[in-house]
Structure 1
């Protein structure tokens, strides 16, 4: 746990940097801050390798059939790109939702693991295959976050100090017992590492046909082993994962570029607009055209 006064300091610091609602991409490239004064509907998006902290408010996130809820007492850690849907369930004008996202790369994790030597060699006592986990906030982690965010008020110190504090945060995450799985993802040759490579390939080439046998062979795995470990990490099969990525990319096209549904479906790899429409409706609850209008109307109301 952590002291109430330190938590209040964190809230005041974020409020001073976020005078209005919205997402702030800060001068620290890996760090973004957000403020929202109303609860939200479910929104699907691709969560990159990041750790997500909430200073105030509550968020609910869905990954396949799994439901995760976190608040200021916890954090959410995603070690690979995952297609998630989430909504803010607690926020108001008087007490806006305040959150922080810190992204990291495989290279950064590998550096921390290599430098730690045997410091984190003890085995994990809990199942830690899935790439999305929750952890409990503590005083030391909160203190590091406050020092990192405080650098935004001293820009000349960012280049020298932010990499050190980010590394400290990663060390502390690695030290949190349930999160030992990070080491698996940073260990060359491990099944988790190979699945991460597969995830990267699917995200890079999502519009292309997914050739399971070819990908499994490329990773040095049998089809059955590839399927089993892919689902352990993502809770989805490779085909289900690619479908979610395609539909999210299509939705992004529909909302941001104003393309029609047929055009969006072809751009993300669908050969049949009707199949695209069916699967889009199944995932988002509305056909593409209706969903686009609904999202536009909701944005105007917000």
Structure 2
């Protein structure tokens, strides 16, 4: 797997592949944290090591470990083991919710007793899962086989993940009438409306929960409150606007919903460790 990823990546980059749900990453240093809104995915480290922070929790994973993210989450990822001679190499496979629901419907997997599981988990990849991943990567050297074979192997990978330790969390999300599925609905709303004022009572009513139940289940699944989730989305987007769209500090803060420049600067500094203007100057 490492040799295939090395052939299809350039220097330090994250890149798409001919398989539309498959992405590769290569990093040769450990000095940069990446703040991102992560979509649901299966990720595997094949060389080096990484960490992922969700709220105050830190998940670490190395060679042969796989990470599952089951909901859209604001996270901080970092390469923790890499060098120019032995770069960190990894892959990510986007989890499509509709494919997940179809899989559970066909295999008749029964739900366990309702309980919350974190939307992020790390496990050691078993041989059957690694075998399926290798076969998926080998398709890149046989592009004519990709349309026919890639969906079948992706389904096998998803099946191995769904029948492993993280399966109950995925099943709870695929089922319509579970607290975790309602939290997924709340997250979808927050992703689209993060710049709007957040009223917990209205969000709870929207997803069919009481405010206290929404707060409890949201934190159990995401390790943060709805307000903290919204704040991280706002700050991630503000940073992106300043770095890539070249917006000034005031415009970026206002665009993501901040009415007070001082509050924006204070919360930005708390998350990134530097005031907005200084962080942008260092990061560009």
Of 38, 54, 61, the match for 2:45: 54
Q: State yes or no: 1:219 paired with 2:207.
A: yes
Query: Taking structure 2 as the reference length, what is the TM-score of the superposition?
Result: 0.96
Gaps of 5+ in 1: 1-9, 297-302
In the alignment, the residues of structure 2 paired with residue 124 and residue 169 of structure 1 have an alpha-carbon distance, to the nearest angstrom, of: 25
Aligned positions of 1:1-302 closer than 5 A: 10-118=1-109, 121=110, 123=112, 129-296=117-284
Q: Could you tell me how far apart the structure 1 residues matched to 2:113 and 2:14 are?
A: 35
Q: TM-score when scaled to structure 1?
A: 0.90
CA distance in 1, matches of 2:9, 2:166: 32
Q: CA deviation at 1:239?
A: 0.5
SS at match of 2:154: helix
Moved more, 154-163 or 275-284: 154-163
SS at match of 2:18: coil
1:82 is displaced (CA, Å) by 0.8
SS at structure 1 position matched to 2:23: strand
Measured on the aligned residues, the alpha-carbon RMSD in Å equals 1.5
Greater CA drift, 202-211 or 175-184: 175-184
TM superposition shift of 1:52: 1.1
Moved over 6 A (4+): none
| 8 Å CA contact 2:51, 2:58 repeated in 1 | yes
Q: Aligned-pair distance for 1:160?
A: 1.2
Measured against aligned partners, the alpha-carbon deviations of 1:231-255 in whole angstroms (never above 9, x if no partner) come to 1111111011000000000011111
CA positional deviation for 1:19: 4.2
Change (3 A) 1:105 1:22: same
CA distance in 2, matches of 1:56, 1:48: 22
Report the secondary structure of 1:271's partner residue.
coil
Q: Aligned in 2, Cα 1:124/1:101: closer, same or farther, shift over 3 Å?
A: farther
* Cα distance, 1:138 vs structure 2: 1.4
User: Contact 1:75/1:134 (CA < 8 Å) preserved in 2?
Assistant: yes
